């Protein structure tokens, strides 16, 4: 007689295939990511929107990054996936753009190459200072804001995309418009994706810097188990929009020459 105990029922099989429910109390990384995600929901940010890639996974985020006004990326809608490691925040996340993005510090497959995403190291041969690399005081917000700044201030000394780096230098140093043409074509293509996704992309400094409406997680996301206290999580302030507001005021007053942005590469972009 066959032993039916050896044959799992369909109900048992389905139960085994379900991903385990993530409880904040079980895993420090889950607890921290839950806090960060909830805070970014309550404190929506200029320049990007977030949601979970899947309801049951706090380790993968879907981020929509908007091209900063007054740059060649203005009006762009660039989706990126952030994947956090189990050791977060002691190890950095990885970021990969879903859209095609021609940029010196973005590989052909969309992977972002930036110091803040590199693990801590004292290797002087890398050309990066230890303070520029990842450390546990960084978080998802500081990563995304660094990438936003990276768009218009790339590091061409050690590019991930060598051809884009050469083309960018020709654009800045000799006025060759090929780099600008490619980026603007990609921006236009991204606008169609934003339309399909029902996303309104900010196009002016005012729209960009006034905090966006609160974003939502994937439908059905349950984050009720997290206990978030303001003192438990540091929320870094970024000066990007303050600088943009100042620059616009100066231009309107006629007291500022518009820079092409080719100088003073940001230290985070090394």
Q: Are 29 and 192 in contact (CB under 8 A)?
A: no
Name the token pair of 133: 């690399």
CA dist., res. 2 & res. 252, Å (int) = 85
Helix (H, G, I), strand (E, B) or coil at 112: strand
Q: Are 236 and 122 in contact (CB under 8 A)?
A: no
Given the residues 113, 131, 209, 241, the one annotated as active site: 113
Q: Are 55 and 221 in contact (CB under 8 A)?
A: yes
Determine whether 113 is an active site residue: yes
Cα 232 to Cα 30, 110, 229: the distances in Å are 14, 33, 5
Question: Residue 186 CB: number of other CB atoms within 10 A?
Answer: 19
Give helix 140-152 / helix 240-252 axis angle, nearest 10°.
40
- Known catalytic residues are 113
């Amino acid at each position: 007689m066959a032993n039916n105990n050896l044959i799992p029922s369909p109900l048992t099989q389905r139960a085994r295939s379900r991903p385990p429910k993530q409880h904040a109390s079980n895993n420090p990384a889950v607890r921290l990511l839950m806090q960060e995600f909830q805070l970014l929901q309550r404190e929506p940010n200029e320049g990007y929107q977030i949601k979970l890639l899947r309801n049951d996974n706090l380790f993968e985020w879907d981020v929509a990054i908007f091209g900063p006004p007054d740059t060649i990326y203005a009006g762009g809608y660039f989706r990126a996936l952030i994947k956090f490691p189990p050791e977060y925040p002691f190890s950095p996340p990885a970021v990969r753009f879903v859209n095609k993005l021609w940029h010196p510090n973005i590989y052909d497959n969309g992977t972002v190459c930036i110091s803040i995403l590199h693990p801590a190291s004292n290797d002087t041969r890398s050309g990066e200072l230890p303070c520029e690399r990842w450390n546990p005081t960084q978080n998802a917000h500081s990563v995304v804001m660094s990438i936003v700044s990276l768009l218009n201030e790339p590091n061409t000394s050690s590019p991930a995309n060598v051809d884009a780096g050469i083309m960018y230098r020709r654009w800045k140093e000799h006025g060759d418009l090929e780099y600008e043409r490619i980026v603007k074509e990609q921006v236009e293509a991204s606008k169609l994706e934003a339309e399909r996704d029902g996303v309104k992309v900010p196009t002016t400094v005012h729209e960009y810097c006034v905090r966006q409406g609160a974003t939502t997680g994937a439908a059905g996301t349950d984050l009720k188990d997290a206990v978030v206290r303001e003192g438990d999580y540091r929320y870094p302030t970024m000066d990007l929009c303050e600088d943009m507001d100042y620059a616009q005021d100066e231009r309107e007053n006629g007291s500022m020459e518009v820079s092409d942005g080719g100088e003073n590469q940001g230290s985070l972009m090394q």
